[in-house]
A and B are shown apart, each in its own frame.
Chain A
Amino acid sequence: DSGVTQTPKHLITATGQRVTLRCSPRSGDLSVYWYQQSLDQGLQFLIQYYNGEERAKGNILERFSAQQFPDLHSELNLSSLELGDSALYFCASSVGELGPSTDTQYFGPGTRLTVL
């Protein structure tokens, strides 16, 4: 158990809908990262938050957004869903000191999203 929790574990929805994925980082971790794992794209970085502020953006679509709340949990919002958004979405957390570090990212169990 990494200490990172994600809910829900599975999500099935229809095209055009909106969903929210939730992540709670490990105790003491300030950084939260979101990754998408799909068969064709592999594991890709989406976005990172550090202590409530957005720090880095990767290959995140405009239809997707995220935020980190004062209690450090994070939510990833996916809207106008398409079939191609079906994937495993991971949240990871780390202590998150800015700059080069030996920080290790610990991953949650993932949310498997299926868009029908």
Chain B
Amino acid sequence: AQKITQTQPGMFVQEKEAVTLDCTYDTSDPSYGLFWYKQPSSGEMIFLIYQGSYDQQNATEGRYSLNFQKARKSANLVISASQLGDSAMYFCAMREATQGGSEKLVFGKGTKLTVNP
């Protein structure tokens, strides 16, 4: 079963506007973490923002904020004041426990964001 769902294969936004990228997750673990990564066309994976399941407030990092709705199991990324350099693939990921007490990241399929001038 897919544990991270990103329903928007592609999104378009005008420069300087805000955009929301959707992410829903599925877990029965009461303790989990959610991450967003950005992958520009050059290929590297850039960490953007983290939200822990017990965090009381939504995470923010500069122009990035995470709209965390625990009951709905959603962790949407909000990018404010979009810039041309924000054009990239965006991946939502969840930290999942592995056997032996370690953890791995499980990724969604990603959303391709295009910022138009």
Contacts and interface: CB of A to CB of B under 8 A. Distances in A.
B57 interface: no
A65 interface: no
B47 A98 contact: no
B68 interface: no
A50 B102 contact: yes
A25 interface: no
A107 B45 contact: yes
Given A2-B47, A107-B47, A45 B102 contact: no
Describe B's contact surface by its main secondary structure.
strand
A110 B45 contact: yes
B100 interface: yes
Contact of B43 (A50, A88, A100): A88
Interface stretch (B17-25, B29-37, B71-79): B29-37
Describe A's contact surface by its main secondary structure.
strand
Interface residues of B, number: 27
Given A90-B45, A110-B44, A110-B45, A102 B102 contact: no
Contacts of B107: 42-44
Interface in B84-113: 91, 93, 95, 97-107, 109-110
A22 interface: no
A107 B37 CA distance: 10
Contacts of A109: 43-44
Interface string A23-65: 0000000010101000000111100101000011010000000
B88 to A, nearest CB: 14
A55 B98 contact: yes
Interface in B49-67: 50, 52
Interface of B: 31, 33, 35, 37, 43-47, 50, 52, 91, 93, 95, 97-107, 109-110
